[in-house]
Amino acid sequence: MNLIFLGPPGAGKGTQAKMLGDRRGLVQLSTGDMLRAAAAAGTEVGRKAKEVMDRGELVSDDVVVDIISHRIDEPDCADGFILDGFPRTVAQAEALDRLLDEKAKTLDAVVVMNVDDGRLVERITGRFTCANCGEGYHDTAKRPAVEGVCDRCGSTEFTRRADDTEETVRSRLETYHAQTAPLVDYYKARGKLRAVDGMAGIETVAEEIDEVLENA
Ligand code: AP5
């Protein structure tokens, strides 16, 4: 099964992609994670991307389409993947349609997570992540079972993202509404869209995703 998780920053795309990936053996493909890895590695693409990401704007379509096109060819994607944070513009969606065609793959569904803007700021500024395995947490909504120890891998190192400040979140939200929200109509017109209430608790959202995917 090949899926897209769509929604504003902080809607829960990464959280739910990891959970659904574990439940169904699907690979999570996060363009944000890939760009942050390129930035940490100090590649030219990564350095340029970091400047754009820190402003809350979008990296160029060509760069992200190229990254995804190569990544989908890896053997671990053969049994299915979840695109988390891609596509983000209509041009990226059209490029994805073309490359899935070329690779003889199909898109089964697009899950959109709806969350009010006010809640998103609170979610993002409270987010932290295991520095070892990438498991995501939140200051109030999702703390490790044992304080200071990652539930998934036992690491005691955690990080916060450079673009998770309140100012950058507001800019990311503006970018989402202007450039990414039109994808809701794009995929609705193609009969692929499945909407879930992203305001509910993490486990409830996970159950709703399973329900909307039953007939996908
Ligand atoms: P990216 O890394 O994709 O960030 P984003 O889309 O802004 O989304 P986030 O990762 O912030 O949020 P999320 O929806 O995954 O929420 P999460 O599950 O973590 O992109 C970063 C940047 O990279 C972009 O701004 C852009 O510059 C660039 N980029 C990336 N892809 C690109 C592309 N295709 N084209 C161009 N540029 C691109 O949850 C957030 C927090 O809330 C967590 O703490 C979590 O524990 C908590 N939480 C989750 N669900 C719930 C819930 N139901 N209830 C309560 N708390 C919850």
For the segment 18-45, what is each residue's pLDDT rounded down to a tens digit? Answer: 999 999 999 999 999 999 999 999 999 9
| Host H or E run for residue 212 | helix 202-212
User: Please, is 195 exposed, middle or buried when counting C-beta atoms within 10 Å of its C-beta (0-12, 13-18, 19+)?
Assistant: middle
Of residues 216 and 5, more confidence is placed in 5
| Host H or E run for residue 123 | helix 117-125
Based on the residue annotation, tell me whether 127 is a catalytic residue of this protein. Answer: yes
Q: Whole-model pTM?
A: 0.94
pLDDT tens digits, one per residue of 51-89: 999 999 999 999 999 999 999 999 999 999 999 999 999
Q: Is the CB of 86 under 6 A from ligand 1?
A: yes
Q: Is the CB of 168 under 6 A from ligand 1?
A: no
- Distance in angstroms (rounded) separating the CA atoms of residues 3 and 151: 26
What is the distance in A from the centroid of ligand 1 to the CA of 167? 15
Q: Determine which residue's CA is closest to atom 40 belonging to ligand 1.
A: 10
Q: Determine which residue's CA is closest to atom 29 belonging to ligand 1.
A: 32
- Distance in angstroms (rounded) separating the CA atoms of residues 116 and 19: 22
